[in-house]
Structure 1
Amino acid sequence: MRVIPDLVIAPRDCFDDQQEWHAPDPVLLVAEVTSSSTASRDRVQKIRAYARAGIPVYLLIDRDADEAVVCSEPSGDDCGHKSIHKLGTAVALPHPLGFDLDTSAF
């Protein structure tokens, strides 16, 4: 599955080659923000796709549920760890990021 995430965190310059598609190896985090047209795909299909690709952290900002979902420890078709946080709180992003994301502006 090829996807275009709403946000990608990766080392500087790793996508400077202007190619349309890239291997996911350098990616540290992908984030998606739900909309009425993408919510079900963001909640189910993309969790599977990012886990299969070995993306260390998937952050889902679910506007319908008013939640931030952090998926980490990818294994097979799923993530070994999922945590759900109310938007407006500080959300701990696990390794390899290791910082709190303030979601009060969301």
Structure 2
Amino acid sequence: MTALPDWMQPPRAEGWFADDLDHLPEAPRHTELIDGTLVFQMSPQRVWHSRLVTALTTMLTAQAPDGTQIDRGVTVRLDARNRPEPDLLAVVTPYDPALTWYDPSDVRLIVEVVSPESAHRDRVVKLRKYAEAGIPHYWLIEEDGHPVVHVYELDGPTCRYAPIGIVRDRLRSAVPFPIDLDLSALLPKR
């Protein structure tokens, strides 16, 4: 086994902190920080995942009201030791081209598309962390021959997500903004 590159060595005994991610230019593009540990996307991204996220980004952008941006590839700084990168998010913050992360108070919706390598993190770890950070809406999209969306809404008093529904065909919601999505249109016909 070869030695780890210097940049992979934690800078302190406590591990990594959220601000450290901005100083790791050698790190792979989709590097997250979960509980002070760097998490890399090691497996290749599947076409299903990529096309679904692209189509969903386009559709949500078309429906988002003024002041709401749909973004991807940007982390959320949940706290000093957690900066996950959701597949997609809706934020209410002015455009800043130098921004590398969003504050949870600016995030209205997080969308995670489950991949085999991210399943536990998306279904358990991130579900809990996003809720504890106060992000009001979370969608978890699974593959069952077509997209299946598990819709969650934050229960403020408990800081936990309450399941709102499992959607297979058409997702209609008034929150976090008026949304009407034909889920079958997210992927090309086979």
TM-score bucket (shorter structure): 0.7 to 0.9
Identity of aligned residues (%): 35
1:74 to 1:47, Cα distance in 2 relative to 1, 3 A: farther
Tell me whether 33-42 or 18-27 shows the greater mean CA deviation. Answer: 18-27
SS of 2:180's equivalent?
A: strand
Specify which of 8, 13, 19 is matched with residue 89 of structure 2.
8
Report the structure, 1 or 2, having the larger strand content.
1
Equivalence for 2:141: 61
1:70 correspondence with 2:185:
no
Size of the aligned set, in residue pairs, is 103
Cα distance in 2, alignment partners of residues 77 and 47 from structure 1: 11
Alpha-carbon separation, structure 2, partners of 1:18 and 1:12 = 13
Output the CA distance in 1 between the equivalents of 2:164 and 2:148: 12
Q: Given the two structures, how large is their TM-score scaled by the length of structure 2?
A: 0.48
Alignment partner, residue 84 of structure 1: 166
Q: Kindly state the Cα deviation for residue 4 of structure 1 after the two structures are TM-superposed.
A: 0.4
**What CA RMSD, in Å, does the superposition of the two structures yield over aligned residues?**
2.2
Aligned-pair CA distance for 1:94: 4.2
Which protein, 1 or 2, shows the higher relative CO under an 8 Å CA cutoff with sep ≥ 6? 1
Quick check: 2:132–2:159 contact (8 Å CA) kept in 1? yes
> Retained in 1: the 8 A contact 2:109–2:135?
yes
The structure 1 residue matched to 2:117, chosen from 18, 22, 37, is 37
- Which residue does 1:98 correspond to in 2? 178
The alpha-carbon distance between structure 1 residues 22 and 84, as it changes in their structure 2 partners (threshold 3 A), is: same
Give the Cα separation in 2 of the matches to 1:11 and 1:79. Answer: 21
Structure 1 runs of 4+ with >3 Å offset: 74-77
Matched, 1:22 2:86: no
Instruction: Report the TM-score, using the length of structure 1 for normalisation.
Output: 0.80
Could you tell me which runs of 5 or more consecutive residues in structure 2 were left unpaired when the two chains were aligned: 1-81
Q: Indicate the structure with greater helix content.
A: 2
SS at structure 2 position matched to 1:18: coil
Q: SS at 2:125's partner residue?
A: helix
Distance 2:136 2:144 in 1: 25
Deviation at 1:63, TM superposition (A): 1.7
Output one character per residue of 1:49-77: Cα deviation in whole Å (capped at 9) or x when no partner. Answer: 11111111111111258521011124445
Structure having the higher Rg: 2
1:90 partner letter: R
Structure 1 residue runs of 5 or longer lacking an equivalent are none
Question: What is the DSSP-based 3-state SS (H/G/I as helix, E as strand, rest coil) of the residue aligned with 1:51?
Answer: helix
